[in-house]
Amino acid sequence: GENVEQHPSTLSVQEGDSAVIKCTYSDSASNYFPWYKQELGKGPQLIIDIRSNVGEKKDQRIAVTLNKTAKHFSLHITETQPEDSAVYFCAAKAPGTGRRALTFGSGTRLQVQP
């Protein structure tokens, strides 16, 4: 089955700096890669996703890149703000009903220091 590894487990940056979280996946058939943000006391919230037919996607201060050959994808947050502090999860999914819906990484706790 799919295996997703996520690094780093914790990340501390100064406000205004950039943050990068990296994930690798094992199933070459995976074609959907969402990122979730989980704030304290809340469920994970989908913030951006990328599909295997594109290499990069941006939404304001966040961007995701995908390297299918190397089987890794990354989340980039620019001009970080204190409200970006949260736990971020990457995930991957291969097509087909028989496959597990989403396989999640172990999470990255991002702390933005004001």
Partner 1 sequence: ETGVTQTPRHLVMGMTNKKSLKCEQHLGHNAMYWYKQSAKKPLELMFVYNFKEQTENNSVPSRFSPECPNSSHLFLHLHTLQPEDSALYLCASSPTLGRAYNEQFFGPGTRLTVL
Q: Applying CB under 8 A, does 96 fall inside the site for partner 1?
A: yes
Q: Name the residue nearer to partner 1 (CB basis): 3 or 113.
A: 3
**What does the angle CA 31 – CA 36 – CA 113 come to, to the nearest 5 degrees?**
135
Min. distance of Cβ 111 from partner 1 in angstroms?
17
Q: What is the CA radius of gyration of the chain?
A: 14
Q: Applying CB under 8 A, does 46 fall inside the site for partner 1?
A: yes
DSSP H or E run through 49: strand 45-51
DSSP 8: -
**Judged by CB under 8 A, which stretch of 14-22, 57-65, 68-76, 104-112 contacts partner 1?**
104-112
Min. distance of Cβ 14 from partner 1 in angstroms?
26
Q: Which residues on adjacent β-strands are paired with residue 9?
A: none
Min. distance of Cβ 63 from partner 1 in angstroms?
18
Residue 102 CA to residue 39 CA, distance in Å, equals 20
- SS3 of residue 92 by DSSP: strand
Question: Which chain residues interact with partner 1 by CB under 8 A?
Answer: 31-32, 34, 36, 41-46, 49, 51, 87, 89, 93, 95-97, 100-102, 104, 106-107
